[in-house]
A and B are shown apart, each in its own frame.
Chain A
Amino acid sequence: SAVISQKPSRDICQRGTSLTIQCQVDSQVTMMFWYRQQPGQSLTLIATANQGSEATYESGFVIDKFPISRPNLTFSTLTVSNMSPEDSSIYLCSAGQGAYEQYFGPGTRLTVT
């Protein structure tokens, strides 16, 4: 199984600022995913982070708001830009090597004031 770490674990940010979340996997993986979980809601996929190419964004999410980097097969970052209180959520990084596995990092709990 893959072990996934995220930094920071939580943060409180002012509106209008940006926060970059880091995700590290302990083994090489082809695809990494970024999810958002708004308070009391289920998980929603933001984008798939592809190594060597641009991220693939889901409907409702755009690169200007959530730029993603994937410099190698074990690391990715998600930036939440120009934050508003509506961006207050848990952001989760996910990865898995095969069709039968998908693991998650511990999440980043973001509060925007």
Chain B
Amino acid sequence: AQKITQTQPGMFVQEKEAVTLDCTYDTSDPSYGLFWYKQPSSGEMIFLIYQGSYDQQNATEGRYSLNFQKARKSANLVISASQLGDSAMYFCAMKLSYGKLTFGQGTILTVHP
């Protein structure tokens, strides 16, 4: 069975600094996708970045990058130049070929001015 683990319940970062949110996964399926979402206090789920299991390069989207280490089964999210608006809950999720997402427990990020 597939599993996603986020071991950091909460993280703090100073504004303008970079922060890494950890995510490890477990699956025996060779084809999968890894997602990161941001959930502000409003409750909406905002898609940030995607990494496919066969992608050779790490995904990047603006200030977000995904540090994909396949052998270690990790997919850490790196946020560069943190902003106050980055304060939110962040979820890592995995999608197998049949479509449904499995989520980690989430990490609350707090950006200090």
Contact = CB atoms under 8 A, between A and B. Distances in A.
Interface of A: 1, 31, 33, 37, 42-45, 48, 90, 92, 94, 96, 99-104, 106-107, 109
The bracket for how many chain B residues form the interface is 20 to 34
Interface of B: 31, 33, 35, 37, 42-45, 47, 50, 52, 91, 93, 95, 97, 99-106
27 contacts: A31-B99, A37-B43, A42-B91, A42-B104, A42-B105, A42-B106, A43-B45, A43-B93, A43-B103, A44-B103, A45-B100, A48-B99, A92-B45, A94-B45, A94-B101, A99-B52, A99-B97, A99-B99, A101-B50, A102-B35, A102-B47, A102-B95, A102-B101, A103-B47, A104-B37, A104-B47, A107-B43
Given A94-B45, A99-B95, A101-B47, 19 more contacts: A31-B99, A33-B100, A33-B101, A37-B43, A42-B103, A43-B103, A45-B100, A45-B101, A48-B99, A94-B101, A99-B31, A99-B52, A100-B52, A102-B101, A104-B37, A104-B45, A104-B47, A106-B42, A106-B44
Contacts, number: 55
Contacts of B35: 102
